[in-house]
């Protein structure tokens, strides 16, 4: 049933449009199998594919930046990659490709909205890339990344290079002598690939919350959210 759903989905149409054919259906079924489903049905989960896909994603985005921007400093390349390769961004790619429509979740996880959780969707995207790499190679993965990431990087503007933590600190210091406190709300995933949720507080008030693959990335996202709230007030 799951195989039929997969090959009749919008995702299948996307792959066909890119000229990508599926050879090993079991790889993709595993990529779409969350741990909660695997535990309930004694199936293989997608964590190993996620691990592989994470490494491939980092490599290919790094390669793209290196080849496309020969004069760009290493620090700027790292900033761009952290912007386009993070839990929030990866979750958006998963939804854009309709991967969430075919995600296999356990009953409890599904009831708690697992198909909308950024961490779950981000892991799914990486597992999907891992399956695609094993099934049809790096060029197929590059086609997907060109669709969801590379085409966006080409239009990047200087506004991206903002240190949101520093900007928020400056804004707060202009209004108060009390500093900011960043607190880790949650961390999930295996030790080699954790996802952090961090909130930023001022004088006991939560200003924003962010998610990232590192604490620093999550802190930047939290500061960014806090600044966005200040702008909309």
pLDDT for the residue 53: 97
Average pLDDT over residues 18-29: 86
Mean per-residue pLDDT of the chain: 85
Q: How many Å separate Cα 142 from the centre of its chain?
A: 16
Q: Which of 66-70, 106-110, 192-196, 212-216 has the highest mean pLDDT?
A: 66-70
Comparing 132 with 228, the larger pLDDT belongs to: 132
Do 140 and 221 belong to one domain? no
How many domains does the chain fold into? 2
CA distances from 51 to 25, 41, 174, 193, 228 (A): 19, 22, 43, 7, 32
**Domain limit, last residue, from 119, 140, 160:** 160
CATH number, residue 24: 1.10.1520.10
Do 110 and 213 belong to one domain? no
DSSP annotation string for 140-168: HHHHHHIIIIIHHHTT--GGG---HHHHH
Q: Which domain holds residue 212?
A: 164-232
Query: pLDDT by residue (tens digit) across 85-122?
Result: 988 899 999 988 888 888 888 887 777 776 778 888 99
CATH number, residue 225: 3.30.160.20
Q: Which of the residues 126, 135, 219, 221 is marked catalytic?
A: 126
At 71, the pLDDT band (50, 70, 90 cuts) reads confident
**Domain limit, last residue, from 99, 133, 160:** 160
pLDDT for the residue 130: 97
pLDDT for the residue 106: 85
Could you give the percent of the chain with pLDDT greater than 70? 89
Q: Which of the residues 54, 109, 217, 219 is marked catalytic?
A: 54
At 160, the pLDDT band (50, 70, 90 cuts) reads very low
**Domain limit, last residue, from 160, 176, 210:** 160
Do 144 and 224 belong to one domain? no
Do 29 and 130 belong to one domain? yes
211/222 Cα distance (integer angstroms): 8
Do 187 and 154 belong to one domain? no
Do 8 and 75 belong to one domain? yes
Catalytic-residue membership of 126:
yes
pLDDT for the residue 140: 93
């Amino acid at each position: 049933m799951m195989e039929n759903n997969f090959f009749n989905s919008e995702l299948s149409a996307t792959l066909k449009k890119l000229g990508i054919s599926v050879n090993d259906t079991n790889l993709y079924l595993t990529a779409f199998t969350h741990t909660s489903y695997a535990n309930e049905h004694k199936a293989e989960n997608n964590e190993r594919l996620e691990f592989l896909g994470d490494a491939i994603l980092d490599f290919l985005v790094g390669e793209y930046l290196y080849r496309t921007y020969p004069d760009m400093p290493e620090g700027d390349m790292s900033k761009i990659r952290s912007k386009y390769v993070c839990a929030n961004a990866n979750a958006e790619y998963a939804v854009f490709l309709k991967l969430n429509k075919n995600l296999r979740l356990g009953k409890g996880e599904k009831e708690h909205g697992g198909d909308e959780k950024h961490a779950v969707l981000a892991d799914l995207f990486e597992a999907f890339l891992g399956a695609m790499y094993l099934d049809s190679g790096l060029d197929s993965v590059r086609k997907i990344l060109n669709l969801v990431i590379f085409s966006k990087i080409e239009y990047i503007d200087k506004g991206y290079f903002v240190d949101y933590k520093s900007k928020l600190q400056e804004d707060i210091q202009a209004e108060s002598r009390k500093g900011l406190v960043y607190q880790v709300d949650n961390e999930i995933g295996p030790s080699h690939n954790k996802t952090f949720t961090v909130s930023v507080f001022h004088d006991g008030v939560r200003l924003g919350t962010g998610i990232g693959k590192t604490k620093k990335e999550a802190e930047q996202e939290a500061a960014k959210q806090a600044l966005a709230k200040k702008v909309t007030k």
